[in-house]
Structure 1
Amino acid sequence: MIIGFVRLELLIYDAQSLKEKRSVLKSLHTRLKQRFNISVAETDHHNTWQRAELTMVTVSNDRTVCERELQKALALIDSQPEAERTVTDFEWL
């Protein structure tokens, strides 16, 4: 069994409040969970308006399958104009 996870930071330029930030993150979170076999959680910068850290996790018997799923999720995040991905770290267990 392979567990792959990605920790990434997002900059949300148009957020002027925590409510606006949460709206962007909730929308992104919903799209990711609907389209991909992953779990997503906000793991840091909870009280910062324009910054967020997300962690995405997937499990499979094959590392290639995990990596493909996470790369597709990152591509979806990159296609969103509301947020810009900055720091991205992969880890495998």
Structure 2
Amino acid sequence: MFLQQRADLIVWNEFFTAPLAQKLSEQGTELVRIADIDEVQLYLAFSAEHADDYIAQWQQALEQSYLDGSMRALYQGTFPEELIMRLEQFARQKQGISF
């Protein structure tokens, strides 16, 4: 939406700033920082009809995708390397795995 100039304001993180600025520059548009947001909470939303164990299984499968490389295979080239590494590190820490 933003790259198609259908939005005037977006919230963006530091991992995507350089690639986005480059694409916008190619379009003759400048990316301008207005304010810093120090913290953003991300979450997965499920309907109340889903049992806690179902949600836990889903979370475990998501974290496993970080550990087994399937998330990397899907999103490498789309997401910045630093972001992928951060997710993999999060999953390793949660599992008690150290590299």
TM beyond 0.5? no
Higher Rg: 2
TM-score (norm 1): 0.30
TM-score (norm 2): 0.29
